[in-house]
A and B are shown apart, each in its own frame.
Chain A
């Protein structure tokens, strides 16, 4: 096992900068998830760590070794690819054992490692099949098995669940988490799915346009988003945003509703008179029983009963917001209602920079 450090890591294609100087240290044994929208540089960063992509600037260290110039095979890493990249003409056993064969591991030792990994992943009965005879989930496990038998310093996962259906994705996600708890190797995992990021990660790295937007534990990025982007990216349904102006001792919404600043826990100090802000509130932080001063008038547009709870889409001024309500709550479409806010959960962002205000 080893730590991984990225120091001012950059990647450019000609004048196009894909990764813009990332600084990050991943601790030994940590499970770190890179998450972000398409084109944010998450896969490119992972591939630079793997050695599959050249580095335009900065350094990658695995343990205390700078690996910039090392070939992938010299970095002591194992990677699980998005399309699994299983050798189609080799059996599961040969796929899993290929790296061991290449490295000259004794056949007996290789067999026992393959058997051990196959047992761990529940694929022992598939060892003599070829990838074409396996289901998506089984292929996924073989790809993980191939990585495990290597006993590498670091595991790299490049969107490994994106080819699976929703149900299987949930299952394999749990298996990956269990696997990490069992073997404890450092993992860098790339996904665009924030649910995967939240459920798997010790720490989440949210990337945007080749830069780190925020690094933190799942709780931190969820509860203390540093920007509108992070707030909107993490959580489903997404955080609601509404433009407000600081007016005396209150925030004034576009529809004239006022929210007293005194009720808020955060961001009060930055709320100078006339300053334009963005209020962020998660759907689950609307409350039905609230201090009457901390309520907004809303017109109900759409009601979505989910069984466990009800999503109510409503309009305040020109903006559509979503609230997660108790399942028995079924307001009539078109009706006006007063929606309460949990003041401790209201986030304030600067309207221009879209960063959180102190």
Chain B
């Protein structure tokens, strides 16, 4: 038997997790930060050159950066609350005492299980100006067909709608799990106390769902800030860059233009944005505790 002090034992037990986290999270993030201080474009054929904050300076002067960042924030501000409301509704529906629960639960799972790019493709077809089901429905009600992806606003709306559809089920699943932890006896007590259904929702359901909702919001907001697949598949960021997101711009700079220095600087900004949002949510949770 090894005679280990408590401290050594703690270090030993934590080491595997610490090493793993360092390799897959800490190192890539530090490397990203490091690269962002270099001018490193693979297409130029020049060696990497330390340029300090020049990439960040470029970014501030880059209108596409501002536009894609604004689009990203707007998508987050629209689709996160949208998915929350739709998800809450779906969860409440799925929590009703149906005879057959599984078809409802399954229909909740399907959009969640679908790959993002696949959802993007499906909805690109839905909103297709000639063959799309949306225009077909509009035509049946006597409305003229719309060329969705030609107008920045309509394309943006179509993308937001798709993201809400795709992500509501995730919200619903987390909220449903939260709903199921609320004991039935609380509603019975409220019944006896004289509270009607609406009052029960606001006085019992909603307050007790808060932790689940906050968790769902954290996950959803962070993924919303990283929105890529759906607009990429639906519009490719167009018309122009009107529906391009920050993640798409990073992809364009690093993968298409092979400008790793500038791309890294953009990625650092996105990372910082995600961290800020997470910090805000965590603070909300902590003050509640």
Contacts and interface: CB of A to CB of B under 8 A. Distances in A.
A190 to B, nearest CB: 14
B192 interface: yes
A102 B189 CA distance: 13
A83 B185 contact: yes
A73 B191 contact: yes
B189 A79 contact: yes
Contacts of A71: 191
Chain B interface, >50% SS class: helix
A81 B189 contact: yes
Contact of B194 (A52, A81, A99): A99
B188 A52 contact: yes
Interface string B166-203: 00000000000000000101101111111100010001
A83 B183 contact: yes
A71 B187 CA distance: 13
Please give me the 4 A-B residue pairs with the lowest Cβ-Cβ distance, nearest first.
A99-B193, A73-B194, A85-B189, A85-B185
B199 A102 contact: yes
B199 A81 contact: no
A77 interface: yes
B12 interface: no
A87 B224 CA distance: 34
A334 interface: no
A98 interface: yes
B157 to A, nearest CB: 37
Contacts of B185: 81-83, 85
A246 interface: no
A88 to B, nearest CB: 7
Interface in A112-156: 146, 150
A72 B183 CA distance: 18
B204 A87 contact: yes
What is the size category of the interface that chain B forms with chain A?
10 to 19
Given A88-B208, A89-B208, A102-B199, A52 B183 contact: no
Given A85-B183, A87-B204, A89-B208, A102 B193 contact: yes
B207 interface: yes
A86 B190 CA distance: 10
Nearest to A104: B194
Chain A interface, >50% SS class: loop
Interface of B: 183, 185-186, 188-195, 199, 203-204, 207-208
Contacts of A52: 188, 191-192
A87 B192 contact: no
Contact of A73 (B186, B192, B204): B192
Nearest to A77: B192
A36 B195 CA distance: 32
A298 interface: no
Nearest to A150: B193
A352 interface: no
B251 to A, nearest CB: 44
Given A85-B186, A87-B186, A89-B208, A98 B192 contact: no
B103 to A, nearest CB: 22
Contact of A89 (B188, B191, B193, B207): B207
A72 B203 CA distance: 18
A102 B208 contact: no
Nearest to B184: A85
24 contacts: A50-B188, A52-B188, A52-B191, A52-B192, A71-B191, A72-B192, A73-B194, A77-B192, A79-B188, A79-B189, A79-B192, A81-B185, A85-B186, A85-B189, A87-B189, A87-B203, A87-B204, A88-B208, A89-B207, A98-B190, A99-B192, A102-B193, A102-B194, A146-B193
A98 B193 contact: yes
Given A82-B185, A88-B208, A98-B193, 16 more contacts: A52-B191, A73-B195, A77-B192, A79-B189, A81-B185, A81-B188, A83-B185, A85-B185, A85-B186, A85-B188, A85-B189, A89-B208, A99-B192, A99-B194, A102-B194, A146-B193
A98 B188 contact: no
A77 B191 CA distance: 11
Nearest to A88: B208
Contacts of B192: 50-52, 72-73, 77-79, 99
Nearest to A71: B191
Contacts of A89: 207-208
A81 B193 CA distance: 12
Contacts of A99: 192-194
Nearest to B194: A73
B188 A102 contact: no
A103 interface: yes
B179 to A, nearest CB: 15
Contacts of B189: 79, 81, 85-87, 146
